[in-house]
Amino acid sequence: MSDNAEEGIARIQAAAARAGGTAALKENHRRNVVYLDERIVVFILAIAAVGLIVLWATTSSPLLLYGSFAGVLLLTVLWGLVRIKRIEAVKRQRENEAKSWQSD
C-alpha cells in the first residue's frame, strides 16, 4: 500500500470491483462519487462557517445578526433531517442485501 492510505484502499477496492464484473465496477464508481460529493459539501460548509463567524463578528445590524442566526438554526435542523433519512435508506439497503444473501 502506498503512503496515502486512502489511495491504497481505493486501488484495492477498484481491483476487486474489476474482478467482480461490470456491475461491481459501476457500484464502486457510484460509491466513490458519493464519497467525493460528501467531501465537497463538507469543505463548502467549512467555508460558510468561517464566513458566518466573520459576519457575526463585524455586523452592527441586529436584523442581520439574528436573521443569520435563525437561518443557521433552520438549515441545521433541515440538514439533520436529511441525514436521518439517508441513514434510514442505507439501513434498508443493507437489510435487503442481507436478506438476499440469506435466501441463497
Mean pLDDT (the chain) is: 83
Sign of the CA dihedral with 89 first, then 92, 94, and 97 last: negative
Average pLDDT over residues 70-90: 90
CA-CA distances (angstroms) from residue 70 to 20, 32, 75? 49, 34, 9
**Between 64 and 3, whose confidence is greater?**
64
Domain ranges of the chain: 1-58, 61-104
At 18, is the pLDDT very low, low, confident or very high (cuts 50, 70, 90)?
confident
Instruction: Say whether pTM exceeds 0.75.
Output: no
pLDDT at 3: 65
